[in-house]
Structure formats: structure tokens, C-alpha cells
Structure 1
Amino acid sequence: MSDFFFYGTLRHLPLLQIVLGREDDTLEYEAARLADHGVFQVADTPFPHFAAAAGCNSSGILVRGITDEETARLRFCEGGFDFELRPVSVALEDGVSTYASVFFPTTQQAPTSEPWSFDDWARNWSKISVISAREVMAWYGRKTPAEISVSFPGIRRRASAFVAGQKRAPDPEWDLSQDVIVAAHHHPYTKFFSLQEIDVQMRQFDGHMSDVLNRAAILVGEAAVVLPYDPLRDCVMLVEQFRAPVFMAGDPAPWIWEPIAGLLEPGEAAETAVRREALEEAGLTLGRLEPAGEMYSSTGSSTEYLYLFVGFADLGGDVTGMGGTDEGEDIRSKVIGYEELMQGIDAGLYKDMPLVTTALWLARHRERLRTSA
């Protein structure tokens, strides 16, 4: 068995217990500090960077009795993020020194000079990190740390969406603690998206619990969608790109016209996301945003939750062209008049649900938007 000193996010006991696979409150720990080392904020992330710093004392916890299997789990969790174990001498609160293992970063992480705040992280990011850790550790023994690190951005997006979903209003007719029982949770696939299964019982409308049923869902995250609209010219911008799921469905027309859309990053507001996506996909700067609803895109198969907007934009001049990011996107845009858009909707030309939904919202509110422009 070994003793470990944790200075960063793993000081959060619910997170550490998930990583260790020991969620039974049996951890033996105490406050400790490491001299001449500091914990600094990594730029543009909620994560800490640990480095030698003369005169600094980094606070943390010393956890005793970590088994070899738990050490392997820690290596799996931290290994994909370029950390390695080193022995150090840490001081306990009573002044006694003892040796412990510490994870040190092996690559530069663009730290700032600002100290990292564990309390701020715990308040703002710990829930997302706990949910992320559950998915990460579900792959222990099945994937390498490097494979998980590739999937980690998507894992964090899904965790952020889960935390956001928990904040939505509950249904007063049902009590999830009594009316839904999850017997098992399976993780058969993860990459950009995740496929998960549960063995579940739910209360039926006659009051009895159902048999144990296996149900699956594609875990996506939250997405923001915007239909750019020029109220002066009465026209909209659409973007087109190849959609692999449409091709995989056997459809001979997998290049789909859509509004501008993208997944929310953890902690990102939907309004910020659509402005970012408009610049990336179409080089377009949006003005006023009109919320056009929020909803699940396909409740029978996907967890994706959409925030819909109609965004004011100047669509005059040469605003169409090619767009995309370094993620393999290949996008072109076009501007069409409102009447042409609605004719296409009525003729079934457009197959994208967010486009049809935002177009119908625009039809209902168009006169108000044109008057207030």
C-alpha cells in the first residue's frame, strides 16, 4: 500500500472515491502541504498546474493506504493527461514530515501566475468533474489512458449537459426516487458521442413497476442553433454539410441544409455558442438574438438538448462562402428569401428538424421582428 498527496481536483473526495472505486467513505486522509511548490491556474480552463515555486506552500490532502489496484486506477485517470508519479516529502499539520507519491505534469499546460482556487473549482466545476469521472472510469481496463484523453472533451460536454439537465423543473406527477429504478448502467461505446445502456424499471400508468427493460441512448450534450435572419432584406442564411448519419440511414441525399449549430462547451452559455459558431461556420457576426425555444431533438434515442435562436444579421453583399473548423467540417452557405424558405418547408425540401422548427417560429414572429428592426 502507498500514501498519496493530492493538491488539485482529486482533493474533492467524491471525485477521488470514484477514481479509486471506493465509494464507501473508508478513505483515511488528513491535511498536508508541500513546500516550495505552487498550484496555478491553467489559462482558459478550470484545471490546475502544479510546479516548483520557491517560497510557496501547496495545500492538499494526504491519503493513506492506497492499494496497488487503486494506484493503477489513478494512473489510468491521470495518465492520459501527461502526469507521472514522483515521491516527495510532505508536511502534516502537526509538523511531522512523511513521504508520499504525487502526480506531476510532464508537459507545459500554459499556467498563469494566478493561484488556482480549490474552493472556486469545487463550487463551479466539481459536479461536472464527478459525472465525467464516472464515464472515464467505466472504461478502466478496456481503453488506454491515451484513448480516453481523446474522448475527454466529449465526456466533459456530456457531463456539463447532465448537470444542466438536473436543474430543469421536475415533473410534479412523478418521483424519480420511487418511480425509476436503475439496475445496471453499461458503457459500450465512447468517442465524440457516447452510447450508453441502462437496465431499468419505471412505474407504469397503472401504478405497478415494469419488468426490467434494457434501454439505450446516444449521449450528445447540449447544442445551440441559430437561423440568421435579415429583417430589412427579409432573408435567411442556411449552411450545408455532409451528414454521416443521414448517409448511414440509406438516404441518397446526405448533404443537408441547416441553420448554424454547434455543441456547447462546459460552462458556455447558448448565446455565446451560437455567436462563436456563426463566426466559425459562416464568418457571420450576429446582432440581436431571439430565443425560439428549447427542446430535446429526439427523445426516443438521443440526449441532445437544443437551444434555438433566430439571430439578426446583415445578409447583404457577399456574405456566402465556405466555412468550417479543423474538426473536418466542410461547410458552404447560401442566402435565400423568406418566401423561398417557406416554400421549401412546405414542399418537404428541408429535412433538418431545427431548420423546420426555427423557420416555423420565424413565420409566427416575422412581422414583429421586421417592425422592431
Structure 2
Amino acid sequence: MSDLFFYGTLRYQPLLELVLGRSLSDLAISQASLKDHSVYGVKGQAFPLIAAESGSVAKGLLVQNLSPNDLKKLAFYEGGFEYDLSSRTVDLANGSTAEALVFYPEPNLWTPDVLWSLQDWVDGWGELTLIAAQEVMAYYGKVDASVIARSFPSIRTRAWAKLAARKRKTGDPRDARKDVIIHDHKRAYVDYFGMEEVALQHRRHDGSMGAVLNRNGLMQGSAVVVLPYDPVRDAVLLVEQFRTPVFLIDDPEPWMWEPVAGMIDPGETPEQTALRETQEEAQVALDTLEFAGEAYSSSGSSTEYVYLYVGRADLTRTIDNGGLASEGEDIRTQILPFDAFMAAVDSNGFKDMPLLTLAYWLARHRDRLRA
């Protein structure tokens, strides 16, 4: 058995219980502190780090009687954040001390931000983290922690999308909790995308339950697609980049002309993503956003949900160095007069469905935007 001192997100007992995969009832849990340390948020992330700091005190929980299997699960989960265990002496509320293992980040890997608050984190990120941890721990014993570390940003993006999906109602009176029966559910693959397999029955239109169906889904986050439009010059801006799936299907032209597009990061609104992605991909600052609809992009195969916008902008220049090098993006842009753009749409000059959707929306609303 081993004892650990938790100073960060695993102080949130629902998360600790999820990671361990069992009740905490047989563990001894007590308040504790670690002298000459402080807990800071990680800059740009939603989790904390502990840092040596003379005169400060890091508060946390001492959890005792953890089994070897518990330690393996904790190491797998925290390994995804590139944290390692180190032994320290902690102080207990009754004045005694205890030896405990503490998760320390890899030196110089993360940049400290402001002092971290557990309650603020629970309020802002607790629910999302539980969803992400469910996916992470589903791969315990199946993949190495390094795979989770590489995939974790996408896992959190999917968790953020799932929170949004739970609020997505149009008035359908059916109840999926009663009208869908799950027989088996597996997380089959994790990387930039996830793949889940399910055996289920759903209620048919005649009221009966259908046969058991074996299906799978490509698990993705939510995305934003935005077409920059200059109402003064009556022109649109398109971006071009290499698309691997188009190449994999043997299309001889995998360089695609598209609108600006990108995944919605955890904590972002679709509007914030639209502004950020347009700047990153096209180096264009949008003046205003016109909402053009939202929908699942391919509901028979993918969980991706897309928010569509036309963004008003002053379009005066094109670039051939757009995108983020850290994401392997190599993007160039072109500006097309509206008439030339629609002529290309009508002659099947583009192969991107969101681009066609936004073209038709713009054709209907162009006069209003130009007025």
C-alpha cells in the first residue's frame, strides 16, 4: 500500500474515484499540507502544477492505503500530463507528519500562471474534466500514457463538444434514456480523432424496439466554418490547404479551396473560434460575424457539429504562409469577386460542402449585407 498527497485536480473526489475506478470508502483521506510549496495554474491549460517556493504552503489531501493497481492507474492518468511521483514529508491537521508521494511536473515543461483555486477549477472545468477522464481511463491497459499525452488536447475538445451537445434540443418528445438500449459500448481507438463502437437497440416509428445494431462513430469536437466577405468590394476570401482524407480516398486533387475552419477549443464560444481561426489561417481581422446556421456535418458517421458564419472584413491582400507551423498547416489564400465565386460554385469548381453551404447562404443575404 502507498500514500499520496494530492494538491491539484485529484483533490476533486469524483475525479479521483473515476480514475481509480472504484469507491474511496476503504481509503483513509485527510487534509494535509506541503511546506515551502505553492500550487499555480498552468498557463494556457486547465490544470495546476506544484512549485517549490520558500515560506509558502500548498494545501491538499493525503490519501492512504492505495493499492499497487491504484498507483498504476494514477500513473497512467497523470502520465498523460507528463507528471512523475516524488516522495515528500507532509503535515497533517493534528500536528503529525507523514511520508507521501507527490506528482511533480517535468521541469520547465509548463509555465506557471496565477495561484490555483480548487473551487474555481471545479466550477469552470470540473464537469469537462470528468468527461475527458472517462475517455482517458477507458484506454487504461490498452495504450501507453504517451499516446494519451499526445491525444489529450483532442480528448478535451471532444469533452467540450459533448457538454454542448447535451444542451442541443429542438423539441423532439422522445427520450433517448428510455428509447435507446445499450448492449455494449467500446472505445476502440484514440488519437487526434476517437472511434467508438456500440451495440444498441432503438425504438422504431411503430413503437417497437428494433433489432440490435452494431455501429461505430468517428468522435470529434465541434467546429466553426467562416467565409470572409467584403461587402464593399463584393468579394470573398478562400483558403487552400492539403487534406489527408481527400488524398486517402484517391482523389488526385487533395489541395482544397475552403472557407476558414477550425475546432472549438475548451472554454471558447463558436464566435471566439471564428475570430481566432480567421486570424490564424488567413491573417484577416473580421469586423462582424453573420450567423449562417449550425448542424451535424455527417450524422451517419461523425459526431462533428459545425457552426457556420459569414464574416465581414476588409479584404485587400492574400497570403501564402497562413496557419500554425505547430499544427503542420500550410495555407494560402485567394480573393474572388462574388460573381466569379458563384460561377465556380455552379460549375462544380469546389469540393468542400461547407463552402457550398455558405455560398448559397451568402447569395440569399448578399443584398442585405451590402446595403
Give secondary structure in 2 for the equivalent of 1:35: strand
Task: Kindly tell me the number of residue pairs found equivalent between the two proteins.
Answer: 369
Distance in 1 (alpha carbons) for counterparts of 2:26 and 2:207? 39
Say if 1:246 and 1:208 are closer, same or farther in 2 by CA, change over 3 A: same
Does the residue aligned with 1:341 lie in a helix, a strand or coil?
helix
Q: Corresponding residue for 1:325?
A: 324
Structure 2 CA distance for aligned equivalents of residues 92 and 208 of structure 1: 59
* 1:253 to 1:210, Cα distance in 2 relative to 1, 3 A: same
Distance 1:36 1:197, change over 3 A: same
Q: Which residue in 2 is equivalent to 1:293? A: 293
* Range 20-29 or range 10-19, more displaced: 20-29
Question: What CA deviation, in whole Å up to 9, does each residue of 1:233-278 have, x standing for no partner?
Answer: 1110111122121222232332221101111111112222122222
2:101 alignment partner AA? S
Which residue does 2:106 correspond to in 1? 106
Aligned partners of 1:230 and 1:236 also within 8 Å: yes
TM-score after normalising by structure 1 = 0.93
**Could you tell me how far 1:59 is from its partner in structure 2?**
1.8
Which stretch of structure 1 is more off in the superposition, 117-126 or 189-198?
189-198
Residues 318 and 332 in structure 2, CA contact (< 8 A), matched pair in contact too:
no
Q: What letter matches 1:111 in structure 2?
A: P
| Paired residue secondary structure (1:286) | coil
**Is residue 2:152 matched to residue 1:146?**
no
**1:146-295 alignment runs, 5 A limit:** 146-169=146-169, 171-295=171-295
Query: 2 CA distance for matches of 1:198 and 1:28?
Result: 38
User: Runs of 5+ in structure 1 lacking a partner?
Assistant: none
Kindly provide the CA deviation profile for residues 98-134 of structure 1, in whole angstroms up to 9, marking residues without a partner as x: 222211223222113x310111110111111111111
Deviation per residue, 1:7-48 (Å, 9 max, x gap) = 100111221112112157655423222222211122222221
Amino acid at match of 1:293: G
1:19 alignment counterpart: 19
Structure 2 segments unaligned to the other structure (5+ residues): none
- Asked if structure 2 preserves the Cα contact closer than 8 Å seen for 1:320 and 1:335, the reply is no
Query: Is the Cα contact below 8 Å between 1:188 and 1:196 reproduced in 2?
Result: yes
With over 3 angstroms needed to count, the CA separation of the structure-2 counterparts of 1:345 and 1:136, relative to structure 1, is same
Return the TM-score normalized by structure 2.
0.94
Q: Find the residue that maps to 1:266 and give its secondary structure.
A: coil
- CA contact 1:228–1:311 (8 Å) conserved in 2: yes
Contact 2:82–2:149 (CA<8 Å) still a contact in 1? no
Give how far 1:58 is off. 1.8
Could you say what the CA RMSD is over the residues aligned between the two structures, in angstroms?
A: 1.8
Tell me the distance in 1 between the aligned counterparts of 2:24 and 2:207.
Answer: 33
1:44-63 to structure 2, matched below 5 A, reads: 44-63=44-63
Contact 1:201 1:212 in 2 (8 A): yes
Partner AA of 1:319 in structure 2: T
Aligned to 1:365: 365
Task: Quote the Cα distance in structure 1 between the aligned partners of 2:153 and 2:285.
Answer: 26
> Cα distance, 1:320 vs. partner?
4.2
Give the direction of change, closer, same or farther, for the CA distance of 1:334–1:301 in structure 2 (3 Å limit). same
Aligned CA distance change for structure 1 residues 170 and 134 (closer, same or farther; 3 Å): farther
Q: Secondary structure at the match of 1:323?
A: coil
Distance in 2, matches of 1:23 and 1:178, equals 27
Structure 1 Cα separation of the partners of residues 62 and 220 of structure 2? 37
Q: Structure 1 counterpart of 2:197, which letter?
A: E
In the alignment, the residues of structure 2 paired with residue 221 and residue 102 of structure 1 have an alpha-carbon distance, to the nearest angstrom, of 33
CA distance 1:24–1:359, shift in 2 (3 Å): farther
SS at match of 1:205: coil
Contact 1:14 1:23 in 2 (8 A): no
Distance 2:218 2:348 in 1: 27
Q: Which runs of 4+ in 1 moved over 3 A?
A: 23-28
Task: Check the 8 A contact 1:321/1:334 in 2, yes or no.
Answer: no
Give the Cα separation in 2 of the matches to 1:86 and 1:167: 42
Cα deviation, residue 322, structure 1: 3.6
Single out whichever of 341-350 and 10-19 deviates more from structure 2.
341-350
CA distance in 2, matches of 1:369, 1:131: 41
Distance (Å, rounded) in 1 between the aligned partners of 2:24 and 2:32: 23
SS of 2:369's partner is helix
Give the letter aligned to residue 177 of structure 1. R
Contact 2:80 2:152 in 1 (8 A): no
